[in-house]
Amino acid sequence: MKPPSLAARITLLLVGTSLALLGGGGLLMDWRIDQAMESRYRENLLTQAQALTTVVEIEQAAGEPQAAAGLLGESGHAWYELRCEGLAPQRSTPPPPVAPAGWPAAAGATPRFLNLRNGSGRLGAVMFAFQEPSATRPPTRRCALLFMQDRRAFDRLLTTLDWILVLGPALALLVALVAVPLIVRRGLKPVRALVERMRDIGPHAPGQRLPASGTRELDPLVARFNDVLARMDEGLARERQFASGLAHETRTRLAELRALAEVEARYPSGRELDQILGEIGQIGAELEATVSALLLLTRLQSGLEQPQRQPLELAPWLERQLPRHRAHAASRGLALVVDGRPPAHLHTDPALLEVVLGNLLGNACAYAPDGDTVRVGLATDSLRISNAAPGLEPADLARFGQRFWRKQPPHAGHAGLGLALAHAAAEALGMDLRFELKNGRLSAVLGWGWG
């Protein structure tokens, strides 16, 4: 099933909103107009009835009560019936076509309005009681008046107003149904143009970006999309660099093994078998170390390697880690100095901490100039490893942690994964690892929380 278009959705929303607003507004307006017209109609009806009572009172005072019978003439659209105590009922000519049963007793001082059915039409009626002055005793008598009028002309007026209030919103909705889709499609033209420009952008064309659309609503979308493209290009560049580095490291080790085997097969060197096998074993160990480091790095970055935290006495643990690094440092004429006072206990994962510290010390001992001093400074909240780095520049610090990146020519056994592993393990432990370059010395600072 084909999904609805954005233009159709906007059209439906606009038409639905218009229908709700115009329809609701029309109904409210119709109700208010009907109430106002009905109020005016009743006021007019009451005014005529009161005028009739005034005339009756005047005629009664003049001693001519019979004159009230012909007040409305022969119009045929209004009727009345007047009943006064002690007098015969007075009616219009013709008399009222209908009358409520027992209406004189139900009439009171407050006018009461009625709508009466007369065949297919309706009559508007009002009845009320009043005191009529009399020349005899008692001085006043109670009178009840029922006055009614044909409502057909008034009802036709209300029906006409209803049609006007219905046809107006209906015509507006009809125009909206025709015009809104055209307006919406024209308004969405920049979106279609943006889609066309996006068609040629992808991994096959790195570096391309969307130009600004000039539309306030679309420009944030274009900016976000360009940010995604930039991150995608960076990710692709890292993956290409990773694939290239992995292929280079693997190919180099395999080429060394193959060259060693072919040279020994064609041109025997006369070395002892143990020496040849030792060299092969060293190359295999370096290849295994590269693969193992990649596996651990992948597990750390994907979250599969979760830290197993436990209380750790840092000073004795550090003393057990330093001997193998001291041996490596001594072979290059380096001095490995430890100073400062570590925290008594550290709540962490010893295996992952060994990955961080081992790679940081290994790099320092591998890349420090001969005869340099590698310093390990301890504090209650951090550890600092520093060494001379005359070949580094401040811009190089941003690339620390990239896989297979090396500033100097590769050393034996170093594939450019140490700092990437140290960063990933420190992040898994919740520690902060940063690098500083000052006065030609590189410092790796590892900050932690302790328990």
Residue 303 token pair:
């979250």
- Give the model's pLDDT for residue 123: 92
Decide: residue 136, CB within 10 A, 0-12 exposed, 13-18 middle, 19+ buried: exposed
- Give the model's pLDDT for residue 411: 47
Angle at CA 109, nearest 5°, toward 105 and 111?
90
Decide: residue 429, CB within 10 A, 0-12 exposed, 13-18 middle, 19+ buried: buried
pLDDT in tens, the chain (451 residues): 566 666 777 777 877 887 788 778 888 888 999 999 999 999 999 999 988 888 877 766 665 554 444 455 444 588 999 998 888 888 888 888 898 988 999 999 999 999 998 887 889 999 999 887 655 555 578 889 999 999 988 989 999 988 888 888 788 778 877 887 787 777 777 777 777 777 777 666 677 777 777 777 778 888 888 888 888 877 777 667 666 666 666 777 788 788 888 888 887 877 888 888 888 887 787 677 666 666 666 677 666 677 888 888 888 888 888 888 888 888 888 988 888 887 767 888 888 888 888 888 888 888 888 889 999 988 888 889 999 988 888 887 877 766 656 665 554 445 567 787 788 888 888 889 888 888 889 999 988 854 4
Strands of 252-351, DSSP E: 310-312, 335-340, 346-348
Contacting residues for 122 by C-beta, under 8 A, at least 6 apart: 115, 116, 151, 152, 155
The string of DSSP letters for 79-102 reads EEEEEETTS--EE-SSPPS---TT
- Give the model's pLDDT for residue 301: 66
Task: Give the whole-angstrom CA distance, residue 361 versus residue 346.
Answer: 19
- Give the model's pLDDT for residue 68: 45
Contact 92, 72 (CB under 8 A): yes
Task: Give the whole-angstrom CA distance, residue 249 versus residue 242.
Answer: 10
Q: Is the N-terminal amide bond of 94 cis, ω within 30° of 0?
A: yes
3-state percent helix, strand, coil for the chain, nearest multiple of 5: 55, 20, 30
Calculate the alpha carbon distances from 51 to 57, 68, 97, 182, 287 in Å: 10, 11, 21, 61, 118
- Give the model's pLDDT for residue 450: 44
- Give the model's pLDDT for residue 14: 77
